[in-house]
Every structure is written in structure tokens, then in C-alpha cells.
């Protein structure tokens, strides 16, 4: 007889198990520290010699591009970094940087089991959901720092995604406002919010400026949606692909990586019905730079790739009206419309079910109307502060925070 445990129950049992193990580990560690203190002759500096100064956690290999410029900046300062990844093929594992150690800690629950028992001064991550599901705060971590993995609203994470971080490294004043509103509504402790910019966008802007322009070719349209029931492929399905092919333009479809996990059946169905051809290409590159660079216009929904495309590559977008359901996102708690949806009309045109047949006209208009260039300038000023300084500012903050934590520990001793 097979024993079935539903995912919700499994998650709860895992949380209980981790909690019990955490209590036991903390108890044994306390005894060990006291013994070390005794045998060291009362030298407290030796009590916690295995504590890591900075751990960076990445739940997927695609986030190496987010952290790499920060790691390079820290390496230039010879600041120690322990990079923990849940991807066995993460490019970080091959990185050759000074005072940098990368390790694969397993995927899913194996990774969280490691994280939940960390002994570190600082943990930096772009992963939401700390202390909500399996990933629990370790009592032996001094500070949890969140770095968003894209421009846009911090309220478009799944609900409670950022509640239990100590620090938010942001890029726009509207993000700070959103964090403060959520704190007030939920009676949360006040986080430290620091505007540092967007390191990976700084790097990609440099790449754009150095890259050769694509040769003259057929107009290329990139369809790069988010995932979930409110996303393009769930809402429009085959209809939008048919409309794209009818334009006669080159079409590239780049689904969100999570779609191949959470919407595997839909992806298999669409790829079988629309295989790769001379006009159509499915793209799953880990680094999206090349595909963004060779595309003339982007069609998306609420995916943050719209801001990469518009603000870094300085190209227009088409955004879809998918009747976004914010019920599972932090945005549901706030009365104000998310910044993403307010700024979109400045960046491009709205594709709806009733104008899907005019898609070619929409594409041509967006590519030829100069007003969208001014809209991109406005968006940059609001969501991308400290352009060109992101990695330096993040490193400055992490080093200063580490020194602050060290001073507190010395004061306690």
C-alpha cells in the first residue's frame, strides 16, 4: 500500500521536522560553544570561529547574472563570500574570484535544510518567501538582506514574500513606499531600505554599448511572458502565436523558466503544435542578453523583462491586458495601482483580445512613434536610481553592515 501525503501536509511536516532539528542543533551548539569558551581560557573571539561573514543564496542558476557584479566588486575588496546555490549547473560554481567559494547545497528541501541551520553574519538573496514556507530564519544569522532580481514593484511577489527580511536593497522611491505600507498594514518591524540601483542592469547597459548592432534583417518580435493563470500563454494560448505568425515577422517565444515546471502540460502542448521553424524559434537560453539584443520589439504581460528590454536596450514593448489577478500577490493589500501597470502606457501599446487581429499594426506603430522614447526616459528616472553604481553601492552596504555587526558582537563581549 502506497502512502500519499499531499503537498500542503508535506510542507507542514517538513517545517515541524526542521523546527525540531533546529532546537536540538541550537541546544547542542550552545553546549559546544560553552565548552570551547571554557577550554579557550575565556577568549570569546574563539567561540564562533566557524561563522561565515557573508552567504549569498541563489535558488536558481539564472540568478548568477544578478549576483555576479556584486561578487566581482566584493572580490576586488578581498571580502569573503560563500555562494550557496540550488542548481547543480550554476555558472557560479565555475567562477574564479578572490576569496569566493561556491557550493551546490541541493535543491528544494535539501537546500532549505542547509539554509535553516546557517551560521553567518549576513545572508543576501533574491529569493522571496523567507520564513513563510520551508525556508526559515536561522537563529544564528545576524541579518537577512533582499536584493530584487528585476526592476519593478516589490509587491508583485507572492504574498508575504519580503515580510521577514531585515533589509531591502532597492532602486526607486516607490518601492520604499510599498515596503512601508505593507509594514504598517501587517504590523511588521521596520526594515532598513537602502536605494542602491540595479547592478545587473548596469552591466547589461555596458554590454549593449559595447555590442555590435544586429545586421539588417527581417523584423523580429519577442514574446516573453511571465507564468501563471494571469500570464499571456495561459490567457491567450495558441491565439497569440497565430496572430504573431500572421504578421510575417520573425517570432521568438521565450517562456518564463517556471512555466516549464508549473505549466509543463501547456508548454508541451504549445511546443508540439508550433515547433521550431524558419519563422518561429523557442528560446531557453540561460542568459537572455543575446535574444533581447536581436529583437526589435517585446510582447509581455507583467514580467519584469519588459523593463530590461525597454530601459537597457531602449526599445518599445507591447503589453497585454490579461485581467491581472493580484489575489495571490502583495499588491492585493494596497489600494494604489502597482507602478508597473501605471508606467506601461508610456512604454508601448496595450494588446487586448479585441485588437489581437491588428497585432501587426500595433507592432509597426510602437516601432515608429517617438513618444515611447520619452516614456522610457521617465521610467528610468523612477525605477533605476544610481545608474552605473549598483554593484559598488551593494558592496559598500554589505561591508558596512558586516563591520557594524562585528562591532556589536565585540561590544557584547
Q: At 4, is the pLDDT very low, low, confident or very high (cuts 50, 70, 90)?
A: very low
CA gap 115, 130 in Å, rounded: 10
CA gap 127, 86 in Å, rounded: 11
What integer best gives the mean pLDDT of the chain? 89
Q: Give the pLDDT confidence score for residue 12 in this predicted structure.
A: 55
244-255 pLDDT, tens digit per residue, is 999 999 999 999
372-411 pLDDT, tens digit per residue, is 999 999 999 999 999 999 999 999 999 999 999 999 888 7
Q: Give the pLDDT confidence score for residue 98 in this predicted structure.
A: 97
Grid cell of 103 as nine digits: 557550493
The more confidently predicted of residues 299 and 214 is 299
- What is the per-residue burial (b if ≥16 Cβ within 10 Å, else e) of 194-225? bebbbbbbbbbbeeeeeeeeeeeeeebbbbbb
Contact status, residue 146 vs residue 129, Cβ threshold 8 Å:
no
User: Mean pLDDT across the stretch 288-299?
Assistant: 94
pLDDT higher than threshold 50 for residue 188: yes
124-178 pLDDT, tens digit per residue, is 999 999 999 899 999 999 999 999 998 999 999 999 999 999 999 999 999 999 9
Q: Give the pLDDT confidence score for residue 48 in this predicted structure.
A: 58
Half-sphere exposure (Cβ direction) of 53: Cα atoms closer than 13 Å: 16
pLDDT higher than threshold 70 for residue 38: no
* C-alpha pair distances (Å), 170 with each of 96, 150, 178, 382, 393: 28, 10, 11, 12, 11
Q: At 33, is the pLDDT very low, low, confident or very high (cuts 50, 70, 90)?
A: very low
CA gap 344, 192 in Å, rounded: 29
CA gap 319, 317 in Å, rounded: 6
Contact status, residue 93 vs residue 113, Cβ threshold 8 Å:
no
Q: Give the pLDDT confidence score for residue 11 in this predicted structure.
A: 54
Contact status, residue 149 vs residue 171, Cβ threshold 8 Å:
no
Q: Give the pLDDT confidence score for residue 20 in this predicted structure.
A: 58
Amino acid at each position: 500500500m502506497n502512502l500519499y501525503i499531499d503537498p500542503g501536509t508535506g510542507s507542514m511536516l517538513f517545517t515541524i521536522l526542521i523546527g525540531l532539528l533546529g532546537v536540538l542543533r541550537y541546544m547542542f551548539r550552545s553546549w559546544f560553544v560553552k565548552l570551547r569558551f571554557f577550554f579557550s581560557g575565556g577568549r570569546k573571539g574563539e567561540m564562533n570561529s566557524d561563522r561565515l561573514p557573508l552567504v549569498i543564496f541563489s535558488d536558481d542558476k539564472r540568478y548568477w547574472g544578478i549576483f555576479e557584479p556584486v561578487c566581482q566588486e566584493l572580490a576586488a575588496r578581498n571580502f569573503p563570500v560563500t555562494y550557496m546555490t540550488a542548481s547543480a549547473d550554476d555558472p557560479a560554481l565555475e567562477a574564479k574570484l578572490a576569496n569566493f567559494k561556491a557550493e551546490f547545497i541541493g535543491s528544494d528541501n535539501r537546500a532549505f535544510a542547509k539554509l535553516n541551520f546557517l551560521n553567518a553574519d549576513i545572508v543576501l538573496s533574491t529569493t522571496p518567501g523567507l520564513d513563510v514556507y520551508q525556508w526559515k530564519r536561522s537563529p544564528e544569522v545576524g541579518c537577512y538582506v533582499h536584493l530584487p532580481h528585476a526592476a519593478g514593484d516589490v509587491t508583485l511577489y507572492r504574498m508575504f514574500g519580503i515580510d521577514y527580511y531585515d533589509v531591502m536593497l532597492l532602486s526607486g522611491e516607490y518601492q520604499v513606499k510599498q515596503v512601508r505600507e505593507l509594514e504598517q498594514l501587517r504590523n511588521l518591524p521596520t526594515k532598513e531600505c537602502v536605494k542602491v540601483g540595479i547592478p545587473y542592469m548596469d552591466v547589461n547597459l555596458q554590454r549593449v554599448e559595447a555590442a555590435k548592432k544586429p545586421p539588417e534583417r527581417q523584423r523580429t518580435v519577442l514574446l516573453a511572458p511571465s507564468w501563471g493563470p494571469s500570464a499571456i500563454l495561459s490567457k491567450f494560448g495558441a491565439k497569440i502565436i497565430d496572430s504573431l505568425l500572421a504578421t510575417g515577422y520573425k517570432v521568438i517565444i521565450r517562456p518564463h523558466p517556471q512555466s516549464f515546471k508549473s505549466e509543463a502540460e501547456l508548454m508541451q502542448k504549445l511546443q508540439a503544435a508550433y515547433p521550431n521553424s524558419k519563422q518561429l524559434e523557442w528560446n531557453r537560453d540561460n542568459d537572455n542578453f543575446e535574444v533581447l539584443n536581436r529583437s526589435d520589439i517585446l510582447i509581455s504581460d507583467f514580467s519584469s523583462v519588459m523593463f530590461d528590454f525597454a530601459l537597457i536596450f531602449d526599445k518599445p514593448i507591447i503589453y497585454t491586458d490579461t485581467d491581472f489577478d493580484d489575489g495571490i500577490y502583495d499588491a492585493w493589500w494596497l489600494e494604489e495601482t502597482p507602478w508597473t501597470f501605471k508606467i506601461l502606457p508610456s512604454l508601448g501599446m496595450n494588446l487586448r483580445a479585441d485588437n489581437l487581429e491588428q497585432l501587426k499594426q500595433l507592432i509597426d506603430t510602437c516601432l515608429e512613434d517617438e513618444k515611447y522614447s520619452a516614456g522610457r526616459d521617465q521610467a528610468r528616472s523612477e525605477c533605476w536610481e544610481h545608474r552605473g553604481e549598483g554593484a559598488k553601492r551593494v558592496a559598500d552596504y554589505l561591508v558596512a553592515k558586516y563591520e557594524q555587526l562585528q562591532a556589536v558582537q565585540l561590544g557584547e563581549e
